[in-house]
Amino acid sequence: MGIAPKGPGDRRESPDERLDRLWGELLREVRVALAGVQLLLVFLLAVAFTPLFPRVGEADRIMYVVSLLLGAAATGALTAPVSMHRMTRGRGMKYEAVRWASLFTLAALALFAGMGALAILIVLRAVPATGDTTALVLTAAVVGGLVLCWVVPALLMRHRGRRDP
């Protein structure tokens, strides 16, 4: 991933100003994503201590563990920029920090989507009115909605950005 030489709207900014702006934007994005990951992870952690959890089937337990691990990995990926910043601050490595933090954030969003999908599937499988097939279809619909919200507009904007002068 490269960092474009010009800012949005051909904004005039020095390379250092651009990196500072990109870093600030990225950290604000991470705060939003981290809140969602933390909320779902706390819910998942609490589920194991409920009275009904021992009755959960083997397949749901496996999905639960995988979902929990995806949440832990997403948390790690979203907090990675903090440690990178602490360890490289003042060493002239802002470009690398922004680049790595961006990659970690994208990976965390993918992990978060997987965690959420599994959590939804587990809950839907537990609802007596929905069978396994319905649960899978509804979960796929949710994942499709996430792709429509998170990926498709960004890809369309990037494609359009390449065509515009």
Kindly report, residue by residue over 36-48, the tens digit of the pLDDT. 899 999 999 999 8
Does pLDDT of 107 surpass 90? yes
135-165: b (≥16 Cβ within 10 Å) or e: beeebeebbeeeeeeeeeeeeeeeeeeeeee
Mean pLDDT computed over every residue of the chain: 86
Which of 24, 38, 13 has the alpha carbon at shortest distance from 85? 24
d(CA 165, CA 162): 8
Alpha helices in the chain (DSSP H): 15-47, 58-88, 94-126, 132-150, 152-163
- pLDDT category of residue 105 using cuts at 50, 70 and 90: very high
The predicted model gives 66-95 an average pLDDT of 89
pLDDT of residue 162: 66
- pLDDT category of residue 12 using cuts at 50, 70 and 90: confident
pLDDT of residue 158: 83
Does pLDDT of 10 surpass 70? no
pLDDT of residue 161: 73
